[in-house]
Chain A
Amino acid sequence: SAVISQKPSRDICQRGTSLTIQCQVDSQVTMMFWYRQQPGQSLTLIATANQGSEATYESGFVIDKFPISRPNLTFSTLTVSNMSPEDSSIYLCSGLQDLNTEAFFGQGTRLTVV
């Protein structure tokens, strides 16, 4: 399957600032998604990143807080805006090469907000 390079792998940020996480896939993928995994918990879908249009957000997540870009079929960014300690989590991007295959993941970004 394709490989996703996600960066940064970790960061420590001041509250009130923003962080942009990038994911680059080594081949075109049909769909890309962003997840959050809080300590000791499973993955929660934040949004589906749509190529060339606004992302589709899950309940509880909004564009102002988590703006997402997907300018082409191999790249996406997630910004965590106006961060607070509650945003401390692991953020993972995921890709789907076609609709009949499984999803694969970037290595994750471990974010700590202080």
Chain B
Amino acid sequence: RKEVEQDPGPFNVPEGATVAFNCTYSNSASQSFFWYRQDCRKEPKLLMSVYSSGNEDGRFTAQLNRASQYISLLIRDSKLSDSATYLCVVRGNNNDMRFGAGTRLTVKP
């Protein structure tokens, strides 16, 4: 079983749509969780950290369910500029970051 699993997509949605990405992780001792965004031919960049209580940053909402070892990202009112690959990331036992395979999102006009 992979340490971090994501639906690879691709997700093709119209502008203004709401889209949700899901992720599961295998290490129940994991303490820190993140969503990164990676544009084509660019390095990953932090989108948001994921907290136990859930957190929101503008159009983006991240949630964590420790019991189910499940992380989600919700994007509301999608913009063309949201087109990218979204990476679910879990901090490993040695503080390294373990990446999911990424979910590709394309927002179309």
Give A contacts to B, CB under 8 Å: 30-31, 33, 35, 41-45, 48, 56, 92, 94, 96, 99-100, 102-108, 110
Contacts and interface: CB of A to CB of B under 8 A. Distances in A.
Given A48-B94, A102-B49, A42 B99 contact: yes
Interface stretch (B38-46, B58-66, B74-82): B38-46
Contacts of B95: 30-31, 96, 99
Given A44-B99, A102-B46, 16 more contacts: A31-B95, A35-B99, A42-B100, A43-B99, A45-B97, A45-B98, A48-B96, A92-B43, A102-B34, A102-B49, A103-B97, A104-B46, A105-B43, A106-B43, A107-B42, A110-B41
User: Chain B: interface secondary structure?
Assistant: loop
Interface string B23-54: 00000000010100000011111100100000
11 contacts: A33-B97, A35-B99, A42-B102, A43-B44, A48-B96, A96-B95, A102-B49, A104-B45, A104-B46, A105-B45, A108-B43
A51 to B, nearest CB: 14
A105 B87 CA distance: 14
Nearest to A94: B97
Contacts of B100: 42
A44 B4 CA distance: 11
Contact of B101 (A33, A42, A92): A42
